[in-house]
Amino acid sequence: MLKRDHQVILPTQARAPGFRVELRGTTFRLVATGAWTVAEATQLDSALKRLRVPIPPTPDFTGEMDIAGIAEIDTAGAWLLQRTAAAWQASGLRTRYAGATEAFRILIEEVQSKGRAERPKIEKRNALTQFTDDMTKTLTGVWRDAVQLTAFLGEVTAALGRMIRQPWRFRTTSFVHHLDHAGFRAVPIIALICFLIGAVVMQQGVVQLKPFGAEPFAVNMVAILALREVGILLTAIMVAGRSGSAFTAEIGSMKMREEIDAMRTLGIDPMDTLVLPRILALVVALPLLTFIGDLMGLAGGGLMAFAVLGLDASNYLDKLRDVIDFQHFMAGMIKAPFAAVIIGLVGCLEGLKVEGSAESLGTHVTSAVVKAIFLVIILDAIFAMFLSGIGV
Amino acid sequence: MIVENGREVVIRVRGLAKSFGSHQIWDGLSLDVFRGEILAIVGGSGQGKSVLMRVITGLVTPDAGEVGLFGQNTKTLSPQDRLEIERRWGILFQDGALFSSLTVLQNIQVPMREHLELPQAMMDDLAFLKLSMVGLPANAAYKFPSELSGGMRKRAGLARALALDPEIVFLDEPTAGLDPIGATDFDHLIRKLQQTLGLTVYMVTHDLDTIFTVCDRVAVLADKKIVRTGSPTELQRHPNHPWIKDYFCGERARAASPGERPRIPA
């Protein structure tokens, strides 16, 4: 904001901005007064818009912006003056400024010269083209993801093959670290969740089966469900949320800071050091976590069976032994390593796809979790069809 | 309003102290910033140059001492008055600190939207004007910060800082990370805007070229306080302090000093 009097120091009084138009001789004058600043701009803008542009009766009429009465001015004020002057100019009045200080003149000239820049047009697409565009983008995106994931699976398999031939390339420390983080530290949350879901399913089962007098069968339901579906699905979803996202974030932030490029130039293969230890750790950890999840699901069901059916522990265990077959347990367990590979692959691949910015990291972490959970559920559905097909 | 030697003091810092853990960065730091000047704060790394800017702008609370802005003590300000004062300054952070989810145009309009109720058409016009004043092409308006180069992000950040025509602009390392040509352009831009808009510029910098070409006064942060203030040439001629001597009389300083290079006329 420029003040008219820089040297004279007075307590600043916000003087209300204003203007009037008068005709003196052959000159239309806009006499502006007060503070022409951005704070007053709305008011000035609407008043100036209501102002009619004077039409010169003969060509020798001129215009004048008399700003001697302006105490304070800033870009917004100068721009408003300039807009008015330009409109007058366009109607055939040669318009000049009067009463400007040196500082005011510099500002007004700057606004004059900079305000003329051409503006780019934003192209507006109609809704239909936009919709089809987005649709095409999404679908090709899905296809591209599938291709990338398959290619990445190939790379990981090749790296695994290399490592089996040269076992000293295996990164034990890294593997143990991830086993600890993705496996051991996930035990409490997975145990708790499976326990609660087991209890809830048992309670709901009893309530729903009671009208048929079949409430003891709730135990069968919980036992089969926990072993075949709930244990593995809950565990895999939790691990995808916990460790899949962590993999993407860790690898992604290394990618962001060019650490991965640095590794490559030092002759270290990120496949060996970053990807394989993580995936292998998950392949070991997920079945173990699933086993804990299965047990806790059954335990939760047992607690609820005692509460609503009055079955004590030994009766509950006897019933379980009648219901459960080894193949039920295996039907759930067999999915665990496959789910682990999916979560690990998606997590690491998304991490490697991160580009320079922090936003990109955020997007990829989100998409890693979403894709991993989606693929785990697809995997589960495929297994369900396959297992029922072979009669397990 | 505080006046000293006939000039208005817009920022007055007195007796500032601040520690991070057991590490004390200042003890009794005092500084005056006068209206209409371009002041550079220099100092070795870890002396708290950027922290001082953050203390003045209220982002960090000091352990002791007072900050006066436009003659008002910040400690006794009501939230309403504080907001009024915040409208009177603009800050350019190191990498622009543009909001990544908004386009450049929307970024420039954020302060206008927050503090004023301007018609949209006018905000667009003003934002385009600011964009062109900081030397960005009009087609940058609809781009997102991630699509801009570092130098353009700084200019866009400056345009946002200038959105409400502030009286003071704070610049945190304005030329860091720019190539020499870009840095020189930015120096000229700062001087030009300072003249056109009557700004007071408070700048944290390392760049000797910037100091010698555009700064009116330099304040040196060393030994936990501002040890000296003065014009760049004055400090170069009479350092009177080992750090200032190293800084202003080293090889780089000699190359940048006005003997070798024309000063942008004020």
| Tens-digit pLDDT profile for residues B1-56 | 778 777 888 899 888 888 888 888 888 888 899 988 999 998 888 888 888 888 99
- Rounded-to-integer distance, Cα A28 and Cα A58, Å: 12
Residue B163 exposure: Cα atoms within 13 Å on the Cβ side: 26
- Picking from A114, A124, A360 by the largest number of B CB atoms within 10 A of its own CB, the best residue to mutate is A114
- Against a cut of 0.80, is the pTM above it? no
How is residue B76 annotated by DSSP?
G
Min Cα–Cα distance to chain A from B107, Å: 17
List pLDDT tens digits, range A303-353. 999 999 999 999 999 999 999 999 999 999 999 999 999 999 999 999 999
- Residue B161 to residues A13, B58, B99, B164: CA-CA distances in angstroms? 25, 16, 13, 8
- Rounded-to-integer distance, Cα A142 and Cα A392, Å: 33
Percent of chain A clearing pLDDT 90 (strictly above): 61
b/e string for A246-261 if b means 16 or more Cβ within 10 A?
bbbbbbbebbbeeebe
B133–A357 C-beta distance less than 8 A: no
Handedness of CA B106, B109, B115, B117 (dihedral sign): negative
Closest to A240 (Cα-Cα) out of A378, A367, A345, A343: A343
A45–B196 C-beta distance less than 8 A: no
Min Cα–Cα distance to chain B from A131, Å: 21
Residue B262 CA, distance from chain mean position:
23
A76–B197 C-beta distance less than 8 A: no
> Which chain A residue's Cα is nearest to B144?
A359
Task: Specify the amino acid at residue B94.
Answer: Q
For residue B228, give both structure tokens: 């000296």
Alpha helices in chain B (DSSP H): 49-56, 79-86, 104-115, 120-133, 150-161, 180-197, 208-214, 232-237, 242-249, 251-256
Across the A:B interface, residue pairs with CB atoms under 8 Å apart total: 81
Mean pLDDT on A289-310: 95
Which of A47-56, A77-86, A131-140, B134-143 shows the lowest per-residue confidence on average (mean pLDDT)?
Answer: A47-56
> Which chain B positions have a beta carbon within 8 Å of A45's beta carbon?
118-119, 122
A115–B119 C-beta distance less than 8 A: no
> Which chain B residue's Cα is nearest to A3?
B198
> Which chain A residue's Cα is nearest to B168?
A1
Facing residue for A38 by CB, picked from B119, B133, B164:
B164
The radius of gyration of chain B's CA atoms, rounded to the nearest angstrom, is: 18
pLDDT at B224: 85
Min Cα–Cα distance to chain B from A47, Å: 13
pLDDT at A99 over 80: yes
End-to-end CA distance of chain A: 81
Which of A8-17, A66-75, B154-163 shows the lowest per-residue confidence on average (mean pLDDT)?
Answer: A8-17
Min Cα–Cα distance to chain B from A29, Å: 24
Which of A205-209, A219-223, B177-181, B198-202 shows the lowest per-residue confidence on average (mean pLDDT)?
Answer: B177-181
- Rounded-to-integer distance, Cα A345 and Cα A372, Å: 9
For residue B90, the SS3 value is strand
Min Cα–Cα distance to chain B from A197, Å: 39
- Residue B51 to residues A325, B17, B56, B60, B83: CA-CA distances in angstroms? 68, 11, 9, 7, 21
> Which chain B positions have a beta carbon within 8 Å of A41's beta carbon?
116, 118, 122
Query: Do the beta carbons of residue B146 and residue A361 sit within 8 Å?
Result: no
- Tokens 């962590």 -> residue: A246
User: Maximum Cα–Cα distance for chain B, whole Å?
Assistant: 56
Q: Which residue has the higher pLDDT, B22 or A370?
A: A370
Q: Which residue has the higher pLDDT, B1 or A218?
A: A218
pLDDT at A7: 45
pLDDT at A340: 97
Q: Which residues of A touch B (CB under 8 A)?
A: 1-3, 6, 9, 11, 37-39, 41-42, 45-46, 74-76, 79, 83, 103, 106-107, 110-111, 114-115, 117-120, 122, 357-359
- Rounded-to-integer distance, Cα B39 and Cα B53, Å: 12
- Tokens 């649709």 -> residue: A135
Residue A106 CA, distance from chain mean position:
46
